[in-house]
Structure 1
Amino acid sequence: MADLLSTGVSGLLASQVGLSTVGHNISNVNTAGYTRQTTTFNARAPQYYGGMYIGQGADAISVQRSYSQFLTQTMWSATSSQSRALQYAAYTSATNNAVSGSANLQSALDGFFGSVNDMANAPTDTASRQAMIGKANTLVSTFRSLSSQFQQIDQQTNQQIGSAVDSINSLAQSIASLNGEIQKAYAGGAAPNDLLDARDQAISQLSAIVGVNATENSDHMVTISIGNGQPLVSATNAVKLSTAPNQYDSSRLEVVGPSGSVISNQLGSGSLGAAFDFRTNVLDPARNQLGRAAIAMEDAFNKQHAQGIDLNGDPGGDFFSISDPAVFNSTTNKGTASMTAKVTDVGKLGASDYIVRYDGTKWGVTTTDGTVVPSTGTGNPGPPADPIVIDGLAITVPGGTPQAGDSFQIQPTRNAASTISVAISDTNKIAASGPLVATKSASNTGKGVLGGLTVTDINDANLKTPVVIQFTSPTTYTINGGAPQTYTDPGTITGNGWTLKLSGAPAANDTFNVNPAASASGDNGNALALANVANKGVLDNGVTTVGKSYSQLIAQVGTAGAQANTALDAQQSILDQATAAQQSLSGVNMDEEASNLLRFQQAYAASAQVITTANTIFESLLSAVRG
């Protein structure tokens, strides 16, 4: 017959396991990655007695996790996407803060061109000239400050890439070690729930850094690959990733696999993928656009300044200076060739970076994303010169011999804003005066009025030849006694590299003169033209002004930031839903645990009462025998 004492003890022990499991759940309610555990019970095999089967109690046969692989992997995927969106939004926010902060380039541009206008109103005044140079230095400082902030963001991105790779290696090693412990634990015949939780938590942390693909094998170990299939963990072995300088730009870190191959563009989601996506799609274009604006400013202002005359009577020299495009040779080059690049047409200058690669017979050009760029020329520096011409750039190979596969990266605008400077400090060297001065004779009797005098070709050999314009009638005139020409009010008279506007009706014998400007001239013709550079289309084939270029930069970064925030909101919502679904199954519910605690406590007490009853019966039996 069934043993009542043994039955009571079985219930007591089973309830004790249930109580321990509930207590474990309650203790880990705040443990990250913990999965709620439940105790499974089975009735013991009954004993056949007197024509019936009599039960012999219960056993606690297992403690299981409330776990769904599908829900867990869905949460890992959502974690990876949300982490990427969060990091991307943080990066773009920092970039937005840079362009919209105290170092506002538009304000600096307005201040500089305002000082040029002030100087035009008093072209020989030393104070106004000094103020103009001061504002020019402020403008240059603003360009450099913005460039420095972008560079700092780039350096921070590098640091975060290095830190992320260290974390990946640490987590991979941890997962590999847990694989081994879990396999050994399963040999005992039961699932090591807490070890499984620890491994899942490590995978979850890994998914926040990089997209993961986890597959559980028949031996209960998981195989992990990241990104587009890069193996990371297999059984108890973990692959070690590392960082290395970019093959062209050593200031840039790349992620490399165990074979040494670069896998930066294969990492996909997670905060590490966000770093590379941000660098390629937001930071580099922003730095290039800022440099493009700096080059446009330097080129347009210098060209106009060169058309004027300074207070010493000399032609205007460069007002701003800026570096040539940066050229980097690949660390894998086998040949000895070098390469240089110069901006030759700012109107055609884009915001791309380029790879120039030698195929064994000729050079070919692509953008850094692989788009083929049409080019002409061989790169021969001459004579005769035959540069490779692309997008406003002239590229030459001044020396050395290339080998097939050799390549160079060209960054036409990336570093321009950090190198722009004011080239003059002497106020006398500001070329405010035009090279020519137009005057009318004091003896004129007609109503002819001088308009603007514009230099159309500063290199005309006869530009500074003195000219006398004499009207032989109100509608005809001669230049230096030449053939009569027709005048229509208002009209434009064209000379050697210049045009002069007139209005009104001159009288016969009225004369107008165009002469070279003298030293210390009070003329402000070139100063007015310099002030108009603010409104002059320079970039995009003469369509975009310097100020508009900066506005495009603000819009470009602002749009990226807005899109990043929208993506973050969406990914956060997806993660919240995935987490809620997973936690509804695996999370610890304190109300439920309190109910289970009470249930097992009562069962434990009842089983103890069964044992007490069995003992009482046994004592009664002994008493009867003794009597």
Structure 2
Amino acid sequence: MSNLLSIGASGLNAAQVALTTVGNNISNVNTTGYSRQTVVQTEAISQSGGGLTIGSGVDVQSVQRAYSDFLTSALWTANSGMQRATSTNNLATTLNSALSASGNLQGALDSFYGGFSTVANTPGVASSRQSLLGSAGQMVTVFNTLSQQFTAQLSQVNAQISTTVNSINTVASNLASINSKIHAAGNSVPNDLLDQRDNLVQTLSGYMGVSAFVQSDNTISVYGSSGQALVSGDKSFALQTAPNQYDASRTEVVDSTGTVVSGKLSGGTLGALLDYRSNVLDSVQNQLGQAAVALSTSVNTQQAKGLDLNGKQGGPMFSVPAPTVLTSNLNKGSASVSASISNVSQLTGSDYTLSYDGSKWNLATTSGQNVPMTANPDGTYSADGMTLSLSGTAQAGDSFQIQPTRQAASGLTLVMTDPNGIAAAAALSATAATSNTGTGSISAVTVTDPTNAALLSGATVSFPSANSYQVTNNAGTVLASGSYAAGQTISANGWSVTPSGTPAANDKFTIGANSNGLNDTSNALALAGLADTKILNGGTQSVIDSYGTLTTSIGTVGSQAASNLTTQTSLYNQAMSAQQSVSGVNLDEEAASMVKYQQAYQASAQVISTAQTIFSSLITALHG
């Protein structure tokens, strides 16, 4: 009867373990990262005797997790993608809000350029000029505010990068600690440690893209998307943050070897922050700066081509900062670099790295695209609308970062305070001599170089014969001469004229400062026309077009981020559903299992009771 008793006891024990396991499953139905556990039972090894083999009961071999390596890895990948999409969407939403909150730059530009048309219609009315300066000031404020909003978000992104790196290090350290406990447990690893291990990897995948490999002792090794080790056995390898080598306010991510890995990380919150900063925020700041540079340069240039209400050549209306040149903190030489903008139409939205290889200077965008440079006779270099001036002695490996337009919008300033300084009139006019006998006439004098010191000094264009011309200054010095044909342009002292008709021999025209400045508004009309003048990107975009492109780009970033978030969330939900179908707790199934094991427990108890009854009967019979 001992056999029957032990069989009943083994069944009772197996049912009790199963009931305990089911109860644990039910208790953890809402526990994040919990994997459903099942009891693995095997038939006890029987011992044969007398030609018969009678069963010996049941053994509880193990309590296993319901687990799939493939589905769990897929969930980690999906989580990394969803957290990246979530962070990008949040950042893009903030960017769109900043654009709306900073004021209507489109309206401010329209009002500003429209103010020149008003001045052209009422050149002598002081209120028109004052209103134009007011519109200019409002427009500058919108430029400044929008740029400040971008800068504020950049500071927030840098802070979030530091916070995320700290979170990654904390999780990695905890994971290494769990690895240590798993290793110490040997072959009988508690399921809760394995659940904690996987849950920590799940958390880590939300911060950055990772790849994980389970070792033979059930510990796990985790690597970042750039291949750097984060966890190996009971050791974690902390990431660090450090100032950018050019810009100390810009936070970079450094691995445990001291290598900057910001450009190599992807996935998760950290990947989103780094990608957004480089590919979105830097770009929109530069685009806004391009518009500010084009506005300032074009208006100031046209101002210089006219006369103000005081009869003087027009002065600048705006100022804008020169390109920013940042020196690497790794430089060993004494070289320094300065930059200026020489051709607005050739400006791009890129930033650049100027580096010295020991024999020559090389220029590339910060994304790594080589940019050809032209060496000028004065020792400077020209590239992408910039002029670079170098001094001092460089050593191999020295480098500089150049930001042509990054600070332009925030530094745009209205420098004109006197409404009379608006140069509404053309700078020069041509007057025909009363003795002229030909049909030639000059309707307008075009200023080609407003910086020419002799621009307003006066000159005479004469035609010694119908087929020749000569330009002399007021002192009688010949400035230009040559043969002449109808429709030919004649230039000197920073201006040019194209006579119409046919001048006769000895005809003359006097070129001088416009004496009809109060009534002439041709330069104001030219200033108003800058609204449609294609200044940027090789002469294909106006300032207003450029801002339209910027708003479209920001809107596109927002819509793409929202769409990607929807997609990634769907993929995550699918991955979670698939993983939970294997590892998740189903209360209906557990309830059914509980009834089954409860009945098994009761039946095993009955077996024990039967064995006891039989044994008692035998004892009674022996004593009867």
TM-score, normalized by the shorter chain, greater than 0.5:
yes
Instruction: Compute the displacement of 1:31 (Å).
Output: 1.0
| CA distance in 1: counterparts of 2:576 and 2:332, whole angstroms | 53
| CA distance in 2: counterparts of 1:225 and 1:486, whole angstroms | 78
How many residue pairs are counted as aligned between the two chains? Answer: 613
Instruction: Compute the displacement of 1:48 (Å).
Output: 4.2
Tell me if 1:395 matches 2:388: yes
Q: How does 1:176-187 map to 2 (within 5 A)?
A: 176-185=176-185, 187=186
Q: How does 1:212-223 map to 2 (within 5 A)?
A: 212-223=210-221
| CA distance in 2: counterparts of 1:214 and 1:257, whole angstroms | 18
Letter of the 1:216 counterpart: V
| CA distance in 2: counterparts of 1:311 and 1:420, whole angstroms | 25
| CA distance in 2: counterparts of 1:43 and 1:493, whole angstroms | 108
Letter of the 2:225 counterpart: G
| The one of 511, 536, 557 aligned to 1:560 | 557
| The one of 589, 597, 622 aligned to 2:586 | 589
Tell me if 1:429 matches 2:427: no
Secondary structure, counterpart of 1:336 in structure 2: coil
Change (3 A) 1:520 1:376: closer
Instruction: Compute the displacement of 1:204 (Å).
Output: 0.8
| CA distance in 1: counterparts of 2:206 and 2:40, whole angstroms | 34
| CA distance in 2: counterparts of 1:249 and 1:142, whole angstroms | 26
Question: What is residue 465 of structure 1 aligned with on the other side?
Answer: 458
Change (3 A) 1:557 1:462: closer
Question: What is residue 530 of structure 1 aligned with on the other side?
Answer: 527
Change (3 A) 1:402 1:469: closer
Instruction: Compute the displacement of 1:259 (Å).
Output: 2.0
Tell me if 1:196 matches 2:189: no
| The one of 363, 366, 383 aligned to 2:364 | 366
Instruction: Compute the displacement of 1:543 (Å).
Output: 2.5
Give yes or no for contact 1:62–1:190 (8 Å, CA) kept in 2: no
| CA distance in 2: counterparts of 1:47 and 1:495, whole angstroms | 119
| CA distance in 1: counterparts of 2:294 and 2:34, whole angstroms | 59
Question: What is residue 119 of structure 1 aligned with on the other side?
Answer: 119
Q: How does 1:455-534 map to 2 (within 5 A)?
A: 455-458=447-450, 459=452, 461=454, 465=458, 497-499=495-497, 516-518=513-515, 521-534=518-531
| CA distance in 1: counterparts of 2:407 and 2:146, whole angstroms | 11
Letter of the 1:221 counterpart: T
| CA distance in 2: counterparts of 1:201 and 1:454, whole angstroms | 74
Instruction: Compute the displacement of 1:100 (Å).
Output: 4.8
Secondary structure, counterpart of 1:38 in structure 2: strand
Instruction: Compute the displacement of 1:322 (Å).
Output: 0.6
Letter of the 1:153 counterpart: Q
| CA distance in 1: counterparts of 2:412 and 2:309, whole angstroms | 25
Instruction: Compute the displacement of 1:239 (Å).
Output: 0.5
Tell me if 1:225 matches 2:254: no
Letter of the 2:426 counterpart: G
Per-residue displacement from partner, 1:352-378 (whole Å, max 9, x unpaired)? 111111122321111112222111228
Tell me if 1:548 matches 2:520: no
Per-residue displacement from partner, 1:76-97 (whole Å, max 9, x unpaired)? 1222222223322332333333
Tell me if 1:416 matches 2:414: no
Letter of the 2:68 counterpart: S
User: Where does the alignment leave 5 or more consecutive residues of structure 2 unmatched?
Assistant: 464-468, 473-480, 503-507
Instruction: Compute the displacement of 1:478 (Å).
Output: 13
| CA distance in 2: counterparts of 1:212 and 1:479, whole angstroms | 76
Instruction: Compute the displacement of 1:518 (Å).
Output: 4.4
| CA distance in 2: counterparts of 1:157 and 1:305, whole angstroms | 40
Give yes or no for contact 1:349–1:540 (8 Å, CA) kept in 2: yes
Tell me if 1:64 matches 2:64: yes
Question: What is residue 605 of structure 1 aligned with on the other side?
Answer: 602
Secondary structure, counterpart of 1:397 in structure 2: strand
| CA distance in 1: counterparts of 2:601 and 2:222, whole angstroms | 44
Give yes or no for contact 1:124–1:520 (8 Å, CA) kept in 2: no
Q: How does 1:82-481 map to 2 (within 5 A)?
A: 82-101=82-101, 103-185=103-185, 187=186, 189-377=187-375, 385-398=378-391, 400-436=392-428, 454-458=446-450, 459=452, 461=454, 465=458
| CA distance in 1: counterparts of 2:389 and 2:280, whole angstroms | 30
Question: What is residue 578 of structure 1 aligned with on the other side?
Answer: 575
Change (3 A) 1:404 1:448: closer
| CA distance in 1: counterparts of 2:594 and 2:124, whole angstroms | 94
| CA distance in 2: counterparts of 1:266 and 1:536, whole angstroms | 41
Letter of the 1:70 counterpart: F
Question: What is residue 26 of structure 1 aligned with on the other side?
Answer: 26
Question: What is residue 474 of structure 1 aligned with on the other side?
Answer: none
Structure 1 stretch 529-538 or stretch 101-110: which is displaced more?
101-110
Give yes or no for contact 1:437–1:523 (8 Å, CA) kept in 2: no
Per-residue displacement from partner, 1:193-227 (whole Å, max 9, x unpaired)? 11000000000111111111211122221111111
User: Where does the alignment leave 5 or more consecutive residues of structure 1 unmatched?
Assistant: 379-383, 471-476, 506-510
Per-residue displacement from partner, 1:384-431 (whole Å, max 9, x unpaired)? 732111111111123x32111111010101111110110111222222
Q: TM-score w.r.t. structure 1 length?
A: 0.88
Instruction: Compute the displacement of 1:449 (Å).
Output: 12
Change (3 A) 1:487 1:404: closer
Please report the RMSD computed on the Cα atoms of aligned residues, expressed in angstroms: 3.7
Give yes or no for contact 2:354–2:401 (8 Å, CA) kept in 1: yes
Question: What is residue 473 of structure 1 aligned with on the other side?
Answer: none
